[in-house]
Amino acid sequence: MRIFDGHCDTLSKINHPDELIRNGFHWDLERAGKYGAYVQVLSSFAGDVQRYDPAAVMESQLEKAIAFESNHPDRLKLIRSASDLKASENGGVFGILGAEGAEIFKGSIKELERWFRKGLRVVTLCWNYDNEVCDSVAGRRTHRGLSPFGRKVVERMQELGMVIDLSHTSDETFEDVISRVSSPVAATHSNCRAICGHPRNLTDEQIRGIAGTDGVIGINFYAYFLTGSGKARIKDIISHIEHISGLVGTRHIGLGCDFDGADPMPEGITGAESLTLVLETLAKANYSEQDIRMIAGGNFLRIFTRILR
């Protein structure tokens, strides 16, 4: 079974590229490799903008993945095109470069294009603060949605074939983007507000909006987004899957575990090796083998194949 995880922050944890092979965090190549075929969005993450130059931090993290692929092409292939994604059918571990915050573009479409040439394919428009592109769900409504520059970013990302991630965006930003896109969008690591009332989670209307683009929602394993407390179990992951399935079907559900970016995780989840427990629990909940395959990876594979050139 192919696994496709829409979001992890491991690049922000490691100090040296070779730590991708084996580490004490949630995700590494050795554990991912045990699944036969595994596609991982490797997101760069700067965190608190007041303490760091976010663009420089994210650039440094992405360069670790680029350097690792150059030095170990037999261990990790970075996906840049639909044909690269097709090759993942043959097995192995594949990465897709992501940025958790459009600050990496430094307010410039030319920087967006430069990073596209370097392999960046997924951009979470913002993190927990407003930026030059849009407002965050935790921000101050600086733009009341997308900024004028943000509208240009959304347009250019679609033209180039980049995945727009709506996780962390404000409700106004979300609506702004949905009204402008002609290709699928994702919320790569987000859950259901109806199940857990955290504002980071998606409303039913937003879930339907993503489905209306034929997009995918990656279920986030962060306990506070699952239950609203620091304690969760695998059954709580399944509850969010069931809610989305009831609204729009399993076609729009994926995995967005937030490994190495979220703690605490549900009881029993220690990292990538624990995904088998989630899939086994889905089977016990009477999900078909086909549905489980699509949630495990097939749905994200479908939209990435459509979006990437």
pLDDT at 24: 98
Domain map (residue ranges) of the chain: 2-307
Residue-wise pLDDT for 80-97, tens only, equals 999 999 999 999 999 999
DSSP string, the chain: -EEEEEEE-GGGT-SSGGGGTS-SSS--HHHHHTTSEEEEEEEE----TTTS-HHHHHHHHHHHHHHHHHH-TTT-EE--SHHHHHHGGG-EEEEEEEEESGGGGTT-HHHHHHHHHHTEEEEES-SSS--SSB-BTTS--SSSSB-HHHHHHHHHHHHHT-EEE-TTB-HHHHHHHHTT-SS--EETT--BTTTS--TTSBPHHHHHHHHHTT-EEEEP--HHHHTSSS---HHHHHHHHHHHHHHH-GGGEEE---BTT--SPPTT--SGGGHHHHHHHHHHTT--HHHHHIIIIIHHHHHHHHH--
pLDDT at 252: 99
CATH tag, 2-307? 3.20.20.140
Which backbone phi and psi does 65 adopt, to 5 degrees?
-65, -40
pLDDT at 48: 83
pLDDT at 50: 60
> Which stretches of the chain score pLDDT less than 70?
49-50
C-alpha span between 260 and 168 (Å, rounded) = 17
Tokens of 49: 């903008």
pLDDT at 238: 99
C-alpha span between 159 and 111 (Å, rounded) = 15
Name the region of 37 (left: φ>0; alpha: ψ -120 to 50; beta: rest): beta
C-alpha span between 175 and 146 (Å, rounded) = 9
Give 168's Cβ-side CA count (13 Å radius): 26
C-alpha span between 307 and 292 (Å, rounded) = 23
